[in-house]
């Protein structure tokens, strides 16, 4: 028995020393402090982060979220100062400003702001860009695998067709899916009237049989692998899946798309404000923006980066979302608690 | 005199009791009792326009959860847990029986082989199933190559796949107590039964089953309850189509952003758990055997 | 004759059945191992593109993954040590002394064992948020210690139930003081129970994802890192690390349970 115990202990000690060894070997940079970045999954390029770490000597800890609601929940539950940089969409920015939860940006240090196309500045959710600067944007559009689907799909409304049973991957994001349903009925994505919402619910539940998978993080995986042949997903996810599988085609819905614009911001009480400013300015540079859109080809407000990417990118309508799609689309806005409870119940019913 | 005696009493009993039981009491009270009470309180709270918890008493959360749509999800969750438990028994019982009754020294190796897979991270094993079962996964590739099917079969993102994942994650909790119970069986008893002319079926029903029922009960409890909470299994393999109660709770604490509602859901889950534990105790189950 | 044939068939049948169950248990593991050698470089890393060792080399460059693994180990070791000490003392104290509230503590101990992990996770999250402790290493360790303690206690208690108090009395009668008696007599008797509990605690801690998921802040453990990579497609380097861990644990078993494989035991 004793022998057995000794061998266990020595093996344990061996394991420990092995592990503490690898624990300390990692993490080279970080001489100039840290930066806790909280961004969307599959949205910010690893190479851009590495380039920033190299240039600044700041160690970046990146965490990811799958929806604006996840971001807001985390900001609320974590202690103040847990994150230094966040990447909320339009309506989440509106909410965070209303709650007084963002730090003002020091504009003097954003020397690269000149790279941003003015059409994307001064949006209604943050007039004068006091708290945020735009990163990338896009729409929730439709992906169709033409080798598997005969039906012609041109709008959100077409997704409700019974012939698509068990074939669709949709975003695991209730504002996007319910918003899409509202658009398909000719309504606004921000309906609040309970009677109208009851109709929306009925329509939404008719989508249930068509949905195979809910995935916000990487819906392209299911499209590429062929698990799903139709998708209601973020535009760049379609663009990326098209590169892997040429049968996939992008469709901008004729009923007016869900449009989003994501923005860099610094939450109130951030511990590394200076590093955060340096990071945001770096991300606005043409080179960083180029790395980001190369990996995640969304609508890019950074004109300098677009120049670097050249004609091919600008003319690729899956990547560089056409201006008329954006114009005919709609932004989501923040809803009151009672309405959100209705949305939440709808979503729960859909997912049961 | 009295003072001296109580001092002695203190040194002999109170002090060592305090030193030994103090730390565990502190942890259990501060990190189990207090948080759970707080969750219970929170389940009667409301939220303000910014989703912060406000402490005005309301029954609204429970009213919302008594809705038929939520009841359907609880039912679905219980069905998934029930089927998982049944499958675990059907696979686990004969399996444990065979390895526990193996006579040679291979027995311990066979036993270790059950445990080893569970030292690999459970998420990545579940993801392994997803890779294996996908449309372009190995299984479909094999089936197509063997000309059994011409088009890939859709295995993923169904309730069945969720149950598969649950069975996979939880089956050791069934096998281990069964193994222990069966190993304790007295071989001579079985021989006696068959010597007395009992058919193997009768021996099984009248002798073996009653003697191993403790293992079945504790195994079932340890499979059934976690099943209600394993949200990641239904996320990865069910594709969001076969939510369990755990998914509902997770959603309210993340994207749903409604902690009081999530707290109320947790209280419901606690109540379900307590009922199951009570049934288990009624059946003569031993609580200590659950943790060993 | 007929009987023998039947017995043989039965044996064959049970062999096939067991083989199928083991196949079921090891199938995803083999997918993980196979994928760690997959030369594919495009997400979602599912189709086979040829054999390579690259991911094992890349593993050493992916410092965040190795870091997370180190974090997991530190948390597991610290929580196991704390839970073992607190749990062992608690088990002995509860066995030996009578005090008010004993039944309550006893009841509380069952909670982490039976209650679904998610409830424990959110209850810790709400209380940590309430008293505003920054989430991170500290909260992870607190959480892990909490759910590990009962498993240590139950294992030690199982050992205590067959324990004969009189040897301790004898030791004290012979002039040994309480502390010496504890280390020389009590501890060695309880050692297998303590060790069993500690191993269980360690295993639970390294694989915990649900409870950690709610209290981690910025400190990512290896399971949480895997959870994050599951979102966008598990890269083969995660598989490579899992394979190494698997090999490590098998080596650990062979080292500690070496007599298993010897011909004559």
**For residue C86, what is the domain's CATH number?**
1.10.3720.10
Q: Is the peptide bond before C44 cis (omega within 30 degrees of 0)?
A: yes
**E-state strands within chain A:** 34-40, 59-65, 85-86, 133-145, 168-170, 211-214, 230-234, 248-251, 258-264, 330-331
Torsions phi, psi for A35 (to 5 deg): -150, 120
How far is A206 from A185, CA to CA, in rounded Å?
A: 13
How far is B183 from A265, CA to CA, in rounded Å?
A: 62
Tell which wins on pLDDT, A50 or B8: A50
Q: How far is B214 from chain A (nearest CA, A)?
A: 30
Q: Taking the C-alpha atoms of A289, A78, A90 and A124 in order, what is their torsion angle to the nearest 10 degrees?
A: -110
| Out of A77, A337, A344, closest to residue B49 by CB | A337
CB of A78 less than 8 A from some CB of B: no
Q: Is residue C235 part of a domain?
A: no
Looking at residue C264, what is its pLDDT? Answer: 40
Other C-beta atoms lying within 10 Å of the C-beta of residue C114: 20
Place of tokens 């309506």: A91
Q: How far is B68 from chain C (nearest CA, A)?
A: 23
Residue of C nearest to A221 (CA): C44
| Res. B163: pLDDT tops 90 | yes
Which residues in C lie closer than 8 A to residue A36 (C-beta atoms)?
Answer: 218
CB of B68 less than 8 A from some CB of A: no
| Out of B116, B132, B292, closest to residue C31 by CB | B132
C260 pLDDT tier (thresholds 50, 70, 90):
low
How far is B217 from B277, CA to CA, in rounded Å?
A: 10
Number of domains in chain C: 1
Architecture of domain A34-137+261-321: 3-Layer(aba) Sandwich (3.40)
Torsion over CA: B120, B233, B260, C218 (sign) = positive
| Res. B2: pLDDT tops 60 | no
| Out of B13, B29, B230, closest to residue C97 by CB | B13
Which residues in C lie closer than 8 A to residue A41 (C-beta atoms)?
Answer: 228, 231-232
Contact C65/C237 with Cβ under 8 angstroms?
A: yes
How far is B239 from A351, CA to CA, in rounded Å?
A: 10
Contact A139/A260 with Cβ under 8 angstroms?
A: yes
CB of B157 less than 8 A from some CB of A: yes
Torsion over CA: A42, A44, A50, A53 (sign) = negative
> Are A34-137+261-321 and A138-259+330-351 the same fold in CATH?
yes
Q: How far is C219 from chain B (nearest CA, A)?
A: 18
What are the Cα distances from residue C240, in Å, to A16, A167, B137, C38? 20, 33, 19, 10
| Res. B261: pLDDT tops 80 | yes
Q: Is residue C230 part of a domain?
A: no
Other C-beta atoms lying within 10 Å of the C-beta of residue C13: 12
Residue A37, class by beta-carbon neighbours within 10 Å (0-12 exposed, 13-18 middle, 19+ buried)?
A: buried
β-strands A168-170, A133-145 pairing: unpaired
Q: Is residue B111 part of a domain?
A: yes
Best of B10, B28, B78, B101 to mutate (most C CBs within 10 Å, chain C):
B28
| Res. B25: pLDDT tops 90 | yes
A246 contact partners, CB below 8 Å, separation of at least 6: none
Looking at residue C181, what is its pLDDT? Answer: 84
Residue ranges covered by each domain of chain A:
34-137+261-321, 138-259+330-351
C258 pLDDT tier (thresholds 50, 70, 90):
low
What DSSP state is assigned to residue A190?
T
Residue A20, class by beta-carbon neighbours within 10 Å (0-12 exposed, 13-18 middle, 19+ buried)?
A: middle
How far is A136 from B178, CA to CA, in rounded Å?
A: 56
Torsion over CA: B205, B206, B211, B217 (sign) = positive
Hey, is A34 helix, strand or coil?
strand
Looking at residue C179, what is its pLDDT? Answer: 81
What are the Cα distances from residue A229, in Å, to A150, A196, A249, A257, B51? 11, 31, 10, 20, 37
How far is B169 from B128, CA to CA, in rounded Å?
A: 12
| Res. C261: pLDDT tops 70 | no
Q: Is residue C260 part of a domain?
A: no
- In angstroms, the first-to-last Cα distance of chain C is 35
Q: How far is A155 from chain B (nearest CA, A)?
A: 24
Q: If you average pLDDT over residues C169-185, what whole number do you get?
A: 82
The pLDDT profile of chain A, 352 residues, written as one tens digit per residue, is 333 333 343 344 444 444 444 433 333 446 789 999 999 999 999 999 999 999 999 999 999 999 999 999 999 888 888 999 999 999 999 999 999 999 999 999 999 999 999 999 999 999 999 999 999 999 999 999 999 999 999 999 999 999 999 999 999 999 999 999 999 999 999 999 999 999 999 999 999 999 999 999 999 989 998 889 999 999 999 999 999 899 999 999 999 999 999 999 999 999 999 999 999 999 999 999 999 999 999 999 999 999 999 898 988 989 999 989 999 999 999 888 889 899 999 999 998 7
What are the Cα distances from residue B47, in Å, to A338, B251, B258, B259, B261? 10, 16, 7, 8, 9
Range of the domain at B79: 69-123+152-290
Q: How many CA atoms lie within 13 A of A288 on its CB side?
A: 25
Torsion over CA: A205, A211, A214, A216 (sign) = negative
CATH number of the domain that residue B215 is part of: 1.10.3720.10
User: Token pair for residue C100?
Assistant: 């008010």
Range of the domain at C176: 68-220
Q: If you average pLDDT over residues C232-261, what whole number do you get?
A: 83
User: Token pair for residue B241?
Assistant: 């189509």
Place of tokens 């800890």: A61
Looking at residue A157, what is its pLDDT? Answer: 96
Tell which wins on pLDDT, A345 or B4: A345
CB of C73 less than 8 A from some CB of A: yes
Kindly report, residue by residue over C65-74, the tens digit of the pLDDT: 888 999 999 9
Number of domains in chain B: 1
CB of A244 less than 8 A from some CB of B: no
User: Token pair for residue B266?
Assistant: 């947790």
Q: Is residue B160 part of a domain?
A: yes
Give the residue from A122, A78, A128 showing the smallest Cα distance to A101: A78
Percent with pLDDT over 90 in chain B: 55
Tell which wins on pLDDT, C225 or B195: C225
Q: How many CA atoms lie within 13 A of B42 on its CB side?
A: 29
User: Token pair for residue A21?
Assistant: 């060894």
Q: Residues of C numbered 79-98 whose beta carbons fall under 8 angstroms of chain B's beta carbons: which are they?
A: 85-87, 89-90, 92-94, 96-97
Contact A73/B253 with Cβ under 8 angstroms?
A: yes
Kindly report, residue by residue over B47-103, the tens digit of the pLDDT: 988 888 999 899 999 999 998 889 999 999 999 999 999 999 999 999 999 999 887
Q: How far is C220 from chain A (nearest CA, A)?
A: 9
Looking at residue C234, what is its pLDDT? Answer: 86
Torsions phi, psi for B172 (to 5 deg): -60, -30
Question: Considering all CA atoms of chain A, what is the largest pairwise distance in Å, rounded to the nearest integer?
Answer: 78
How far is B109 from C9, CA to CA, in rounded Å?
A: 24
Place of tokens 């086979």: C48
Q: If you average pLDDT over residues C38-58, what whole number do you get?
A: 84
Looking at residue A59, what is its pLDDT? Answer: 92
Kindly report, residue by residue over B271-287, the tens digit of the pLDDT: 999 999 999 999 888 88
Give the residue from C189, C187, C194, C186 showing the smallest Cα distance to C154: C194
A138-259+330-351 — its CATH code? 3.40.190.10
Looking at residue A144, what is its pLDDT? Answer: 96
What are the Cα distances from residue C49, in Å, to C45, C96, C229? 9, 63, 20
């Amino acid at each position: 028995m004793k022998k057995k115990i000794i061998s266990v202990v020595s093996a344990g000690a061996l394991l420990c020393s092995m592990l503490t060894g690898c624990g300390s070997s990692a993490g080279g940079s970080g001489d100039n402090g840290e930066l806790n970045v909280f961004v969307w999954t599959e949205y910010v390029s690893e190479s851009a982060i590495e380039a920033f770490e190299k240039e600044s000597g700041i160690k970046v800890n990146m965490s990811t979220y799958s929806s604006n609601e996840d971001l807001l929940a985390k900001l609320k539950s974590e202690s103040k100062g847990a994150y230094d940089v966040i990447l909320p969409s339009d309506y989440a920015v509106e909410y965070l400003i209303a709650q007084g939860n963002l730090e003002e940006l020091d504009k003097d240090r954003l020397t690269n702001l000149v790279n941003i196309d003015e059409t994307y500045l001064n949006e209604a959710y943050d007039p004068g860009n006091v708290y945020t600067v735009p990163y990338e944007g896009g729409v929730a559009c439709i992906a169709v695998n033409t080798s598997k689907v005969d039906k012609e799909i041109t709008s959100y409304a077409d997704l409700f067709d019974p012939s698509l049973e068990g074939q669709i991957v949709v975003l695991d994001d209730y504002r996007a899916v319910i918003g899409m349903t509202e658009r398909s009925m000719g309504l606004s994505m921000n309906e609040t009237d309970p009677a109208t919402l009851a109709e929306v619910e009925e329509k939404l539940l008719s989508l249930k049989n068509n949905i195979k998978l809910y995935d916000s993080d990487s819906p392209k995986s299911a499209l590429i692998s062929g698990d799903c042949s139709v998708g209601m997903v973020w535009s760049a996810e379609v663009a990326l899946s098209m590169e892997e599988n040429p049968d996939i085609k992008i469709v901008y819905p004729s009923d007016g798309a869900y449009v989003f614009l994501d923005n860099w911001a610094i939450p109130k009480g951030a511990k590394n404000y200076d590093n955060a400013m340096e990071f945001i300015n770096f991300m606005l540079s043409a080179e960083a923006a180029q790395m980001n859109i190369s990996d995640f080809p969304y609508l890019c407000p950074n004109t300098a980066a677009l120049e670097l990417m050249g004609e091919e990118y600008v003319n690729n309508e899956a990547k560089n979302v056409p201006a008329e799609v954006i114009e005919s689309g709609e932004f989501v806005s923040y809803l009151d608690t009672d309405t959100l409870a209705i949305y939440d119940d709808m979503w729960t019913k859909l997912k049961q | 005199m009295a003072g001296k005696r109580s001092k002695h009493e203190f040194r002999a009993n109170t002090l060592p009791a305090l030193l030994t039981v103090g730390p565990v009491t502190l942890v259990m009270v501060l990190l189990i009792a207090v948080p759970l009470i707080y969750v219970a309180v929170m389940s009667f709270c409301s939220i303000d326009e910014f989703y912060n918890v406000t402490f005005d008493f309301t029954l609204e959360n429970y009213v919302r959860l008594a809705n038929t749509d939520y009841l359907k999800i609880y039912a679905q969750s219980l069905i998934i847990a029930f089927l998982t438990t049944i499958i675990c028994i059907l696979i686990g019982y004969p399996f444990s029986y065979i390895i526990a009754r193996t006579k040679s020294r291979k027995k311990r190796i066979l036993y270790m082989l059950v445990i080893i897979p569970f030292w690999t991270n459970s998420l990545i094993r579940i993801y392994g199933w997803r890779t294996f079962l996908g449309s372009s996964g190995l299984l479909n590739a094999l089936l197509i190559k063997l000309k059994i099917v011409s088009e890939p079969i859709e295995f993923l993102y169904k309730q069945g796949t969720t149950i598969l994942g649950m069975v996979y994650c939880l089956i050791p909790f069934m096998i281990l107590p069964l193994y222990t119970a069966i190993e304790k069986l007295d071989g001579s008893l079985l021989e006696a039964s068959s010597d007395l002319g009992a058919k193997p079926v009768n021996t099984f029903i009248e002798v073996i089953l009653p003697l191993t029922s403790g293992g079945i009960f504790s195994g079932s409890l340890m499979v059934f309850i976690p099943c209600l909470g394993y949200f990641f299994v239904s996320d990865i393999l069910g594709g969001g189509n076969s939510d369990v109660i755990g998914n509902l709770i997770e959603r309210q604490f993340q994207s749903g952003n409604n902690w009081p509602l999530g707290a109320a859901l947790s209280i419901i889950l606690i109540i379900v758990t307590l009922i199951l534990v009570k049934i288990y105790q009624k059946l003569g189950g031993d609580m200590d055997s659950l943790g060993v | 004759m007929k009987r023998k044939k039947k017995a043989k068939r039965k044996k064959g049948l049970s062999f096939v059945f067991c083989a199928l169950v083991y196949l079921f248990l090891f199938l995803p593991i083999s997918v993980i191992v196979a994928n760690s050698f997959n030369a594919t470089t495009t997400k979602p890393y599912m189709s086979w593109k040829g054999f390579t060792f690259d991911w094992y080399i890349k593993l050493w460059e992916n410092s965040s993954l190795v870091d997370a693994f180190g974090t997991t180990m530190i948390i597991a070791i610290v929580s196991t040590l704390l839970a073992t000490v607190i749990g062992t003392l608690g088990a002995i104290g509860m066995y030996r002394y009578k005090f008010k509230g004993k039944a309550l503590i006893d009841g509380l101990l069952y909670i982490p064992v039976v209650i679904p992990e998610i409830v424990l996770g959110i209850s810790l999250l709400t209380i940590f948020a309430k008293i505003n402790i920054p989430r991170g290493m500290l909260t992870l360790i607190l959480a892990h210690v909490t759910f590990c303690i009962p498993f240590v206690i139950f294992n030690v208690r199982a050992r205590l139930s067959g324990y004969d108090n009189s040897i301790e009395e004898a030791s004290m009668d012979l002039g040994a003081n309480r502390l010496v008696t504890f280390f020389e007599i009590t501890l060695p008797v309880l050692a297998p129970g303590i060790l069993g509990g500690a191993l269980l605690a360690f295993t639970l801690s390294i694989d915990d994802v649900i409870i950690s998921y709610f209290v981690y802040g910025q400190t990512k453990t290896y399971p949480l890192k895997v959870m994050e990579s599951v979102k966008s497609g598990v890269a083969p380097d995660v598989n490579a690390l899992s394979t190494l861990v698997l090999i490590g644990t098998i080596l650990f078993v062979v080292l500690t349970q070496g007599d298993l494989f010897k011909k004559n035991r």
